[in-house]
């Protein structure tokens, strides 16, 4: 291997100072102001939760409301109510946004819970209410004093949290027997709760729709999160612990978000969470958002109205004023700046992709100039990768294949008309837009969110794709198009991995000056004239013959 | 010597002589082919004008079409031409080129496809709209059809084979003959399946060949051996390349030369090597055809040019 030391000129030194030393210095200075605790400068991971409520009224409205909970009826009209989360210890909520087919909404507090009611005249048929919010949930661990004694006296105030119900039959002999067996009196509070938690955690999980009162769960040894929590509550209350059920959302962006029930036990003056389903003992893992306390259904509506709710969760970053703390707002952190941009209508969701473009472009440079991949245009794979972050990689690739196939088909169909080039391009773009809308419509009709998101696949990018693949088809034929398509997909996959990497996004949002270092690397690559990886393969025969020459 | 500041390439001794895409772009094309002058070679009409004034042998130009109005005058404008070739002036890789022969009622191309006057006018219009040159407008170059003569020993020819010669500072450094095949559809483009036969620059004798990026010893269609054959009039070919290179203010070029048939049946078929076109970004596959890297040969020329 031959490595030549660079001849550094004044110009080169300036470049190194500007593009390498300066960003490094600024970054180090900012990190030092936060005591090198980078978590204080970086944006917190946050979640955007969207609840889509669908209601279907068969009788066309004007029905008196019936009671749920302890509320009085609001009048004659359609009404849908849902408990929504509120700020509390470990949970901060960002801007909430609602879009509803019902004209009015009102918020009230029931037993400490926040209840939103949407109401108004509705002509009937299927309607929707969408409500979304951003949230940052923190982990909290509660240390229970091992010496804390089990409760012996009841405080009046606690009565509702100690009473039995149909679903939580506190006094039932089987519950009493089990409690005495696994958590007998005389143990410390910690030991009793551990025993109850351990017992409920080991119960076999079932579908949420199965019967889930405490006794059924006990009898069958199987239950959903609500059933396990009710059994927990029944035993804990039997031992004299004020206990309440909590219903909330488990945040798993990769999967459909699911409603989950867990319990809170009052120890001293603190409500301590226990989740037998997720095996969380006196702790929260920052991935569960409590919606409400109490044993109610989350949704209720006018009689004769079918109603259900579907949650989707997306990971994002917190930059809004109320979601970030004081240090994060200081000069050293860029979060204040990103927050300001968000207030001007540039959401951090878009921003985190924009800020990744330098890295996406760098990946493209490496793929082309160092590896030697031939792709659709230069930057197109990066743009397609950005689009794929909105739809998910698989759906994005499906959209790309769909567009390419459609273009080939439409071109074929139109070839007999011998249209001029640009009008033909316009037709191809229109065809891809129409087909994407059609796919989205099918997606919306059958509730397939990912299909609907295909419309987000930006059409400007589609236009470029259409033009590029059209040119290859015309100049080099189907085989070459397939080859370039394959290589482009490799390139898109690499750009996608780079650009959707959360750690890199956090790094770029925290230290945007890294973009200068990216330019520095681009400069180095721009001066690099070495053999590309694929050229080693291309000129392999030549290598062999030169070997023969050198041995001769 | 080439400026290799910050070069950390050249891993592996045996790739030392290979010219890669990065080095070609940065140290040859960027340095020796100034952007402002590239259009002189990229535009076939401009290139022909330049070479014509330098007295270089070229195929005959029948017409240059620039506007839709001129397009509408077809076929009257080419009434006396039984055969002609339509080329986009700024097309690349042979895209958009059609060779047409007049029949009693229409025209046919070498594949036997019939073209009506309307179809030809549409092709002409599309070329002027820049469809084949990735630009907003272009010109159509209408030339005589060249019938190729023997180009490599007595190998039978199909399509239009040519000789690609790489020149640096007007000095020919490497050469290959490009033979169209069935797969390349008569075109002399290696990436479309033409055979590249390496030619010794001193003797004009074939030394190796590449087809579909693999070493080849025989022609893929006819199975005839490709090595040890001579290019006729080699000295004239080299001299033509030198003179063509001298005509341009560009220093690193790929000159494409054809040797027309010598029989006197057709107008202008004198058998003198003709320059077909000039390329400012000549490809790298010539190295595989010659089983030799370009770098040493180029280095020798550059050292010579500096001293």
- Residue B157: pLDDT band (50, 70, 90) is confident
Is pLDDT at B163 greater than 90 in this prediction? yes
- For residue B131, give how far its alpha carbon lies from the nearest alpha carbon of chain A (Å): 6
Measuring CA to CA, which residue among B143, B173, B188 is closest to residue B251? B173
Q: Determine phi and psi for A77, rounding to 5 degrees.
A: 175, 175
Contacts with B21 from chain A: Cβ below 8 Å:
369, 372, 532, 535
Sign of CA dihedral B181, B187, B193, B194: positive
DSSP-derived secondary structure letter, B85: E
Q: What is the pLDDT of residue A70?
A: 46
C-beta separation of B7 from A4 below 8 A:
yes
Q: Report the C-alpha gap between A151 and A160 in whole angstroms.
A: 16
DSSP-derived secondary structure letter, A124: S
Q: B4, A550: Cβ pair inside 8 Å?
A: no
Query: For each of chain A's 552 residues, which pLDDT tens digit applies?
Result: 455 555 668 888 888 888 888 888 888 887 787 777 776 677 777 888 888 898 887 654 444 444 444 444 444 577 889 999 988 877 878 777 888 888 888 888 888 899 999 888 776 678 888 998 888 878 889 998 888 887 765 566 667 788 888 888 888 899 889 999 998 888 888 999 999 999 999 988 887 656 688 888 888 888 888 899 999 999 999 888 999 999 998 887 666 678 889 999 988 888 999 999 888 999 888 888 899 998 888 888 888 788 888 888 887 777 655 555 555 556 566 776 777 777 777 777 778 888 888 998 899 889 988 998 887 777 788 888 887 877 778 878 887 787 778 877 888 888 788 777 778 878 888 887 888 788 778 777 776 666 666 666 666 666 667 777 777 777 677 777 888 888 888 888 998 898 888 888 888 888 888 899 999 999 999 888 888 998 888 888 776 565 555 554
Instruction: Give chain A's domains with CATH numbers.
Output: 48-138+299-315 (2.60.40.2250), 140-285 (3.10.620.30), 355-500 (no CATH)
Prior bond to A417 cis, omega within 30?
Answer: no
Mean pLDDT of the B121-143 span: 84
Q: How many CB atoms lie within 10 A of CB A262?
A: 24
Cα A260–chain centre separation = 17
Q: Return the higher-pLDDT residue of B254 and B158.
A: B254
Q: Report the C-alpha gap between B105 and A385 in whole angstroms.
A: 53
C-beta separation of B283 from A539 below 8 A:
no
Residue A6 contacts B, CB cutoff 8 Å? yes
- For residue A463, give how far its alpha carbon lies from the nearest alpha carbon of chain B (Å): 15
CA distances to A288, A347, B18 from B23, rounded to whole Å, are: 56, 42, 10
SS3 call for A511: coil
Task: State the count of interchain CB pairs (< 8 A) between A and B.
Answer: 109
Q: What percent of chain B has pLDDT over 70?
A: 92
Q: What is the pLDDT of residue A210?
A: 61
Sign of CA dihedral B212, B134, A488, A513: positive
Q: A420, B213: Cβ pair inside 8 Å?
A: no
Reading the block at residue B201, the tokens are 């620059």
Closest partner residue to B20 (CB to CB) among A476, A532, A541 is: A532
Spell out the CATH class of B35-56+147-306.
alpha beta
As to burial, measured by CB atoms within 10 angstroms (0-12 exposed, 13-18 middle, 19+ buried), residue A146 is exposed
Pick B61-143's CATH classification: 2.60.40, 3.30.1490, 3.40.1700, 3.30.70: 3.30.1490
pTM above 0.80, yes or no: no
Q: B9, A529: Cβ pair inside 8 Å?
A: yes
**Domain range list for chain B:** 35-56+147-306, 61-143
The interface predicted TM-score of the complex, written ipTM, equals 0.80
Measuring CA to CA, which residue among A396, A388, A425 is closest to residue A410? A425
């Amino acid at each position: 291997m031959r490595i030549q030391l660079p001849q550094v000129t004044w110009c080169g030194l300036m470049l190194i100072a500007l593009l390498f030393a300066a960003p490094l210095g600024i970054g180090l200075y900012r990190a030092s102001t936060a005591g090198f605790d980078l978590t204080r400068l970086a944006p917190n991971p946050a979640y955007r939760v969207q609840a889509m409520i669908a209601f279907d009224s068969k009788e066309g409205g004007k029905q008196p409301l019936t009671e749920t909970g302890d509320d009085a009826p609001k009048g004659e009209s359609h009404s849908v109510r849902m408990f929504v989360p509120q700020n509390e210890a470990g949970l901060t909520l960002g801007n909430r946004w609602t879009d509803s087919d019902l004209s009015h909404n009102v918020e009230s507090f029931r037993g400490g819970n926040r209840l939103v009611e949407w109401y108004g005249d509705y002509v009937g048929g299927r309607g929707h209410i969408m409500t979304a919010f951003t949230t940052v949930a923190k982990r909290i661990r509660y240390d229970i004093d091992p010496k804390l004694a089990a409760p012996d006296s009841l405080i009046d105030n606690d009565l509702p949290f100690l009473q039995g119900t149909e679903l939580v039959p506190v006094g039932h002999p089987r519950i009493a027997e089990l409690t005495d067996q696994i958590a007998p009196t005389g143990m410390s509070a910690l030991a009793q709760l551990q025993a109850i938690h351990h017992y409920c955690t080991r119960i076999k999980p079932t579908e949420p729709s199965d019967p889930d009162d405490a006794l059924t769960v006990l009898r069958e040894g199987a239950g959903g999160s609500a059933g396990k929590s009710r059994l927990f509550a029944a035993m804990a209350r039997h031992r004299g612990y004020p206990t309440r059920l909590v219903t909330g959302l488990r945040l798993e962006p990769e999967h459909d978000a699911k409603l989950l029930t867990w319990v809170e036990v009052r120890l001293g003056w603190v409500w301590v969470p226990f989740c037998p389903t997720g095996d969380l003992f006196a702790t929260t893992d920052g991935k569960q958002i409590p919606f409400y306390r109490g044993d109610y259904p989350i949704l209720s509506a006018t009689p004769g109205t079918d109603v259900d709710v579907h949650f989707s969760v997306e990971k994002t970053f917190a930059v809004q004023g109320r979601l970030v703390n004081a240090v994060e707002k200081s000069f050293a952190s860029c979060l204040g700046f990103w927050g300001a941009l968000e207030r001007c209508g540039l959401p951090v969701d878009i921003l985190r992709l924009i800020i990744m473009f330098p890295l996406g472009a760098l990946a493209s440079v490496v793929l082309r100039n160092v590896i030697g991949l031939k792709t659709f245009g230069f930057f197109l794979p990066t743009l397609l990768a950005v689009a794929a972050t909105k739809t998910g990689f698989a759906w994005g690739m499906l959209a790309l294949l769909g567009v390419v196939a459609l273009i080939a088909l439409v071109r074929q169909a139109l070839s007999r008309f011998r249209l001029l080039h640009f009008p033909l391009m316009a037709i191809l773009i229109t065809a891809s837009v129409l087909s994407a809308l059609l796919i989205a419509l099918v997606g919306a009709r059958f509730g397939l969110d990912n299909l609907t998101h295909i419309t987000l696949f930006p059409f400007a990018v589609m236009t470029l794709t259409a033009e590029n693949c059209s040119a290859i088809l015309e100049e080099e034929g189907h085989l070459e198009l397939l080859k370039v398509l394959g290589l482009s997909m490799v390139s898109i996959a690499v750009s996608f991995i780079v650009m959707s990497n959360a750690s890199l996004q956090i790094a770029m949002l925290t230290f945007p000056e890294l973009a200068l270092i990216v330019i520095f690397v681009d400069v180095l690559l721009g001066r690099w004239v070495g053999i590309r990886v694929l050229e080693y393969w291309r000129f392999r025969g030549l290598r062999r013959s030169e070997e023969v020459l050198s041995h001769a | 010597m080439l400026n290799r500041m910050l070069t950390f390439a050249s891993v592996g001794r045996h790739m030392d002589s290979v010219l890669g895409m990065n080095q070609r772009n940065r140290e040859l094309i960027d340095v020796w082919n100034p952007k402002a002058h590239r259009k002189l070679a990229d535009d076939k009409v401009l290139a022909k004008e330049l070479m014509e004034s330098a007295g270089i042998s070229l195929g005959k130009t029948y017409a240059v079409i620039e506007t839709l109005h001129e397009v509408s005058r077809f076929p009257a404008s080419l009434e006396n031409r039984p055969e002609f070739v339509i080329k986009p002036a700024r097309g690349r890789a042979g895209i958009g080129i059609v060779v047409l022969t007049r029949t009693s009622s229409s025209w046919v191309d070498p594949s036997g496809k019939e073209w009506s006057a309307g179809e030809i006018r549409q092709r002409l219009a599309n070329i002027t709209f820049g469809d084949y040159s990735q630009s907003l407008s272009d010109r159509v170059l209408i030339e005589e059809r060249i019938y190729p003569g023997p180009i490599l020993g007595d190998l039978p020819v199909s399509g239009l084979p040519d000789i690609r010669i790489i020149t640096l500072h007007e000095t020919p450094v490497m050469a290959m003959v490009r033979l169209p095949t069935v797969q390349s559809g008569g075109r002399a483009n290696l990436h479309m399946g033409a055979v590249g036969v390496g030619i010794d620059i001193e003797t004009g004798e074939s030394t190796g060949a590449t087809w579909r990026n693999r070493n080849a010893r025989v022609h893929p269609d006819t199975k005839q051996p490709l090595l040890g054959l001579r290019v006729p009039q080699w000295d004239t070919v080299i001299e033509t390349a030198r003179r063509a290179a001298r005509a341009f203010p560009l220093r690193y070029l790929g000159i494409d030369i054809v040797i027309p048939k010598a029989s006197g049946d057709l107008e202008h078929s004198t058998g003198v090597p003709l320059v077909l076109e000039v390329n400012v970004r000549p490809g790298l596959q010539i190295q595989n055809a010659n089983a030799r890297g370009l770098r040493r040969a180029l280095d020798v020329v550059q050292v010579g040019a500096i001293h």
